C-alpha cells in the first residue's frame, strides 16, 4: 500500500489525517458532508479521497489523488440517494429495504458503463477513464483530471459569439469521440457545455458520463437532464433514446456557440415550438448552416438527423447540406423517381398523340395503350407504383400495430388529446393516403387520439388575475376573463367567481371557462349595500 498524500500539495503524510500538512500548512480537517467518504480515505491502496465536489442521481464525485503517480484525478462513487440508506460505520453502502435488487442491478449498469469507457478511452474527444474498482459494496470510477475550463465558462468570457467555422473546429474532436461511443454501442445522453472540457494544452474533451437511468426522466434514479440540450425523448421513461439523442444535444451546443442563446427546452417546445433559427438570431450564420442545426434539433426522432457523421459532414460542407435538403427527409430513391417519371411521361405522350389525332373517322375511340401493352420496361415500372394506405380512423393497437398489412412501412406513432376522435383511433397521417410510396420501409407518421383532455377546475377564487392565469395555463384550460362590478366583497383585480365550480372535471378541448375579475371598488355600490343591510337590520328589529 502506498503512502497517503496531502490532498492539497501531493506531498507524503507520515501519520494520520489531522492538524495541518507539514509541507504546505493547509488544514487536513475533514469537511466533506455527512454521508460522503471522509477526506484522506484510501481506496484499493492506490487512491486518496480528497474534497467532495458534487452529487447527482448516480452518486458522488470527489477530487482524488493517484498516489503512485502523485497526480490529481476525479473519483466517482456510485451512491444513488433514492436507493440507499447511507453507509455503515465501515463505509459500506446500505440499500433501502425492498430496494436491494434494484440497487444491485443499477450498480451493475454503472460498472458496465465505466468498464466500457475504460476499455474505449483514451480516445480523441473523450475524457479518459483510468480505473474501475469495487469496494464498500459499491463501485468507483477514476477519471483523469485536466487543468482547463468548461465550455460554459469559456463562452461566458467571450465578448462575441463564435463563427460557424470556429464552433465546428472546436466541436470536431468531441463529435469524433461521440461517433466512437456510438460505434461501441454507447449513448452519452448528457452532452452540454458544462460537460465539455477545454484543457490548457489540448483539444476539447467530453466528460459527464452517466447511466441511462440518470439521464431519463421518470426513472428509478433522481434524473439529471440539461434543459435546452436534453432531447425530448429523454423526458419520458416510455420513449427510447438512441444515437439521434446525442445528435440533438450536439446541435444544441453548436446553436449556443453561434447564437449565444441556449435552445428552448424540449418540453416547452412540445407545447409551442418557439425555437428561432440560428440565422434569425445571428445574421452571420449562413442559412444552410442554420438549416442543418434545425434538422438536427427536430422534436420527432424519426425526422431528425440520425448520426453524428451526418451532422459533421453537413456542418462542414454546404454542398453536402444542400444535397441533403434537396433529397428531403425521406431520401427518395433516384431510381424510383425515374421509374415513376417514365410512366407519367409515357401516359402524357399517349394523351397528346390522341388529342392531335383527333379520333378515328368511324368515331370509335381508340383505347389508350397501357405501359404493359407497349414495353416490358414500362410494365415493370408501372408495377413498382404503390400508394400510401389510408390509416385515418383505424384503431392503432388492433388494426395497425404489428399488422402484416403494413409490414413494408415503418410506423411512427405520437399521441394527442382529441375531443372529437375516440381514444386509440388515428387522427391524421403523414404522408397522406394515396401518396406514392417512394422507398422500402417508408415512414408513416401517425397521430393517435388519447381521448379528451380531462382536467380538474382549480379553486382560484380570490386569486390575483396573474396567479389565476398561471393556474389555468398550467392545466391547459381555455378561459375568458371578464371584469365585473366590485361591491367591496373582493379585492380589486382578484377572481370574484367562475362559471365552473372548483373540483369539477371537464374536457379542456371543448369547454371555455368564464373567469370574473373584480373591478375597481365602487363606493356607491358599497354604500348601497351597507344601506340595504341597515334597512334589513332595522326591519328585523321592528318585527321583533
Q: What is the pLDDT of residues 285-332, one digit of tens each?
A: 999 999 999 999 999 998 899 999 999 988 988 877 777 665 554 333
User: What pLDDT, in 10s, does the model give residues 216-235?
Assistant: 888 878 889 999 999 999 99
Task: Examine the pLDDT at 253 and tell me if it is beyond 50.
Answer: yes
Q: Are 481 and 464 in contact (CB under 8 A)?
A: no
Least confident of 18-27, 237-246, 448-457: 18-27
User: What pLDDT, in 10s, does the model give residues 77-94?
Assistant: 999 989 998 899 999 999
Average pLDDT (447-469) is 88
**Per-residue pLDDT at 234:** 92
Same domain, 160 and 290: yes
Same domain, 458 and 523: yes
Query: For residue 71, which of 38, 47, 42 has the smallest C-alpha distance?
Result: 47
Same domain, 92 and 230: no
**In CATH, what number is assigned to the domain containing residue 513?**
3.30.10.20
**Per-chain mean pLDDT for the chain:** 83
Same domain, 289 and 190: yes
**In CATH, what number is assigned to the domain containing residue 124?**
3.30.200.20
542 in any annotated domain? no
Same domain, 117 and 178: no
Same domain, 177 and 74: no
With b meaning 16 or more CB within 10 Å and e meaning fewer, what string describes 286-299? eebbbbbbbbbbbb
Same domain, 186 and 308: yes
Average pLDDT (382-390) is 69
Task: Examine the pLDDT at 464 and tell me if it is beyond 70.
Answer: yes
Task: Examine the pLDDT at 418 and tell me if it is beyond 90.
Answer: no
Name, of 44-53, 135-144, 146-155, the range with top average pLDDT.
Answer: 135-144
Which of the four pLDDT bands, split at 50, 70 and 90, describes residue 344? low
35 in any annotated domain? no
Residue with the bigger pLDDT between 514 and 357: it is 514
With b meaning 16 or more CB within 10 Å and e meaning fewer, what string describes 19-47? eebeeeeeebebebeeebbebbbbbeebb
Per the structure, the complete domain to which residue 375 belongs is given by 334-381
Same domain, 445 and 479: no
Query: For residue 302, which of 218, 438, 411 has the smallest C-alpha distance?
Result: 411
Average pLDDT (398-415) is 87
Average pLDDT (28-47) is 89
**Per-residue pLDDT at 2:** 64
Q: For residue 231, what are the contacts with CB-CB under 8 A and spacing of at least 6?
A: 241, 244, 245, 248, 249, 266, 301
The answer to whether the pTM exceeds 0.85 is no
Same domain, 223 and 77: no
15 in any annotated domain? no
User: What pLDDT, in 10s, does the model give residues 421-440?
Assistant: 889 999 988 888 877 777 77
> Using CA atoms, how far apart are residues 272 and 292, in angstroms rounded to an integer?
21
**Per-residue pLDDT at 536:** 47
37 in any annotated domain? no
CA-to-CA dists, residue 331 to 303, 318, 337, angstroms: 11, 17, 11
User: What pLDDT, in 10s, does the model give residues 499-543?
Assistant: 999 989 888 878 889 998 888 765 554 455 445 445 545 455 444
Same domain, 256 and 122: no
**In CATH, what number is assigned to the domain containing residue 316?**
1.10.510.10
Which of the four pLDDT bands, split at 50, 70 and 90, describes residue 358? low
Other CB atoms within 10 A of residue 485 CB: 13
Average pLDDT (161-183) is 93
The structural domain count of the chain equals 5
Least confident of 154-168, 355-369, 479-493: 355-369
Burial (CB count within 10 angstroms: exposed 0-12, middle 13-18, buried 19+), residue 359 = exposed
391 in any annotated domain? no
Other CB atoms within 10 A of residue 303 CB: 16
Same domain, 424 and 468: no
252 in any annotated domain? yes
User: What pLDDT, in 10s, does the model give residues 192-203?
Assistant: 999 999 988 778
32 in any annotated domain? no
Query: For residue 36, which of 95, 82, 94, 79 has the smallest C-alpha distance?
Result: 79
**Per-residue pLDDT at 385:** 65
Task: Examine the pLDDT at 140 and tell me if it is beyond 50.
Answer: yes
Same domain, 322 and 431: no
Residue with the bigger pLDDT between 420 and 498: it is 498
Least confident of 39-53, 338-352, 460-474: 338-352
487 in any annotated domain? yes
Which of 106, 121, 144 terminates a domain? The answer is: 144
Which of the four pLDDT bands, split at 50, 70 and 90, describes residue 413? confident
Amino acid at each position: 500500500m502506498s503512502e497517503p498524500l496531502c490532498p492539497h500539495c501531493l506531498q507524503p503524510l507520515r501519520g494520520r489525517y489531522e492538524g495541518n500538512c507539514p509541507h504546505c500548512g493547509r488544514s487536513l480537517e475533514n469537511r466533506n458532508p455527512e454521508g460522503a467518504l471522509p477526506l484522506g480515505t484510501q481506496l484499493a491502496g492506490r487512491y486518496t479521497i480528497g474534497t467532495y465536489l458534487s452529487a447527482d442521481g448516480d452518486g458522488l464525485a470527489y477530487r482524488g489523488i493517484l498516489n503512485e503517480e502523485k497526480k490529481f484525478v476525479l473519483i466517482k462513487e456510485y451512491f444513488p440517494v433514492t436507493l440507499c440508506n447511507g453507509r455503515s460505520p465501515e463505509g459500506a453502502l446500505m440499500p433501502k429495504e425492498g430496494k436491494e435488487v434494484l440497487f444491485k442491478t443499477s450498480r451493475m449498469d454503472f460498472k458496465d458503463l465505466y468498464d466500457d469507457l475504460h476499455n474505449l478511452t483514451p480516445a480523441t474527444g473523450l475524457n479518459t477513464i483510468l480505473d474501475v474498482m469495487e469496494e464498500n459494496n459499491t463501485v468507483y470510477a477514476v477519471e483523469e483530471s485536466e487543468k482547463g475550463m468548461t465550455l460554459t465558462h469559456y463562452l461566458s468570457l467571450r465578448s462575441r459569439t463564435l463563427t460557424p467555422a470556429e464552433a465546428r473546429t472546436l466541436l470536431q474532436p468531441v463529435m469524433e469521440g461521440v461517433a466512437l461511443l456510438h460505434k461501441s454501442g454507447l449513448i452519452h445522453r448528457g452532452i452540454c457545455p458544462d460537460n465539455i472540457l477545454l484543457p490548457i494544452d489540448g483539444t476539447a474533451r467530453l466528460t459527464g458520463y452517466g447511466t441511462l437511468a440518470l439521464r431519463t426522466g421518470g426513472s428509478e434514479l433522481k434524473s439529471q437532464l440539461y434543459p435546452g440540450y436534453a432531447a425530448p425523448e429523454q423526458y419520458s421513461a416510455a420513449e427510447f433514446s438512441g444515437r439521434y439523442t446525442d445528435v440533438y444535444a450536439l446541435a444544441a451546443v453548436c446553436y449556443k456557440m453561434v447564437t449565444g442563446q441556449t435552445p428552448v427546452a424540449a418540453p416547452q417546445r412540445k407545447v409551442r415550438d418557439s425555437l428561432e433559427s440560428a440565422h434569425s438570431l445571428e445574421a452571420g450564420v449562413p442559412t444552410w448552416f442554420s438549416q442543418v442545426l434545425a434538422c438536427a434539433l427536430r422534436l420527432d426522432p424519426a425526422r431528425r438527423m440520425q448520426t453524428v457523421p451526418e451532422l459533421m459532414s453537413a456542418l462542414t460542407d454546404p454542398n453536402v447540406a444542400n444535397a441533403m435538403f434537396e433529397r428531403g427527409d425521406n431520401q427518395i430513391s433516384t431510381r424510383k423517381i425515374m421509374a415513376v417519371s417514365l410512366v407519367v411521361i409515357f401516359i402524357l405522350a399517349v394523351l397528346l398523340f390522341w388529342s392531335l389525332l383527333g379520333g378515328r373517322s368511324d368515331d370509335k375511340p381508340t383505347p389508350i395503350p397501357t405501359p404493359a401493352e407497349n414495353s416490358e420496361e414500362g410494365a415493370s415500372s408501372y408495377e413498382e407504383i404503390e400508394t400510401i394506405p389510408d390509416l385515418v380512423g383505424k384503431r392503432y393497437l388492433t388494426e395497425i400495430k404489428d399488422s402484416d398489412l403494413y409490414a413494408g412501412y415503418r410506423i411512427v406513432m405520437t399521441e394527442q388529446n382529441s375531443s372529437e376522435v375516440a381514444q386509440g383511433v388515428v387522427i391524421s397521417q403523414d404522408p397522406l393516403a394515396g401518396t406514392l410510396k417512394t422507398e422500402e420501409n417508408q415512414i408513416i407518421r401517425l397521430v393517435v387520439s388519447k381521448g379528451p383532455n380531462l382536467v380538474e377546475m382549480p379553486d382560484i377564487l380570490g386569486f390575483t388575475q396573474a396567479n389565476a392565469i398561471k393556474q389555468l395555463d398550467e392545466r391547459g384550460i381555455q378561459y375568458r376573463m371578464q371584469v365585473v362590478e366590485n361591491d367591496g366583497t373582493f379585492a380589486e383585480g382578484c377572481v370574484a367567481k367562475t362559471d365552473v365550480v372548483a373540483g369539477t372535471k371537464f374536457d379542456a378541448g371543448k369547454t371555455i371557462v368564464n373567469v370574473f375579475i373584480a373591478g375597481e371598488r365602487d363606493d356607491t355600490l358599497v354604500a348601497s349595500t351597507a344601506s340595504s343591510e341597515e334597512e334589513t337590520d332595522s326591519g328585523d328589529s321592528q318585527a321583533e
